[in-house]
Amino acid sequence: MERRLLLVNHGKQLWTRERAREIRTELIKIFEGLQPGEAGVIDCKGVEVFDYSFANELFGKTLLSLSREYPERFLLVENLTDYTRENLSKALESLGLIMIERKANKLALLGRVHPADLETFNVIAASREPLTAVALKGKLGINLTAVNERLSKLTGLALIRRQMGVSGAGRQHYTYLAPA
């Protein structure tokens, strides 16, 4: 399940940190109602522009606190224009953050993304089933330590979720999945 914040309800042109702060209150309410594995979606359809202060406050502040305050929930953005995507990417890059954009039912990452992290995320996002670190080791062709480092980073950035699973042999293990 996911819950949406229709950003255009607050205007087509969104300026200032102060404005974003008001909207963030609404976004927090959405996150308070989410269960683990569910996503809050910021739908930017109809929004023409937001400034960097707005992006920092709404997207940046939420992402910075997401894995701590709302663990295992996802934040997605949808329906960005070329312009809003560029501004959001720059804002995220300047904050060292990465977020998930859903575009035509495919997931992509915005911000300054290391190719290794992108590769790992794409494999997890493309998988219909949650993946274990061992399965990823095989798919990525790297050693288990490197896989675990990447998974730890992506989990910390709230881009993927870690959940406890049970193997065919009955052993408990962690599996990783991206939002649907």
Partner 1 sequence: MHPETSIVKLDSISFDKLMAQQDPFQGEECRIDLSGVRMITPAALVQLAVVCYALEEKARQPIIILDDSSVSTYLARAGFLAAVRPVAHIEPPLFAGFDYERLRGSNPMLIEVSKIETGSDLPPLLDHIVSVLRKRLKYPKYDAFDVATAISEVCQNTFDHNHETCGFIAMQGYGKGSKRFLEIGVGDYGNGLAETLRRNPKNPEIASDIEAIGVATKLGTSEHDDPTRGTGLYHLLEITYKHEGAVQIRSGAGKVRYRMDKRQGWTFSVPYVPGVQIALDLGTKSGRNRKKILDSAK
Q: Is 11 in the site for partner 1 (CB under 8 A)?
A: yes
Q: Is 67 in the site for partner 1 (CB under 8 A)?
A: no
Q: Is 15 in the site for partner 1 (CB under 8 A)?
A: yes
Q: Which residue's CB is nearer to partner 1, number 40 or number 60? A: 60
Alpha-helix residue ranges (DSSP H) falling in the chain: 17-32, 52-55, 61-69, 82-95, 115-126, 133-140, 144-156
Tokens for 72? Answer: 């295992």
Q: Is 76 helix (H, G, I), strand (E, B) or coil?
A: strand
Tokens for 105? Answer: 């039912």
Q: Is 53 in the site for partner 1 (CB under 8 A)?
A: yes
Tokens for 156? Answer: 């910390």
Residue 128 per-residue DSSP state: S
Out of 7, 19, 80, 175, the residue judged to bind partner 1 by CB under 8 A: 19
Nearest to 76 by CA among 29, 117, 27, 116: 27
Tell me how far, at minimum, the Cβ of 54 lies from partner 1, in Å: 8
Out of 6, 49, 108, 140, the residue judged to bind partner 1 by CB under 8 A: 49
Q: Which residue's CB is nearer to partner 1, number 87 or number 175? A: 87
Residue 79 near residue 44 (C-beta atoms within 8 A): yes
Q: Which residue's CB is nearer to partner 1, number 84 or number 120? A: 84
Site residues, partner 1 (CB under 8 A): 11, 13, 15-19, 48-49, 51-53, 56-57, 60-61, 64, 82-83, 87, 90-91, 94-96
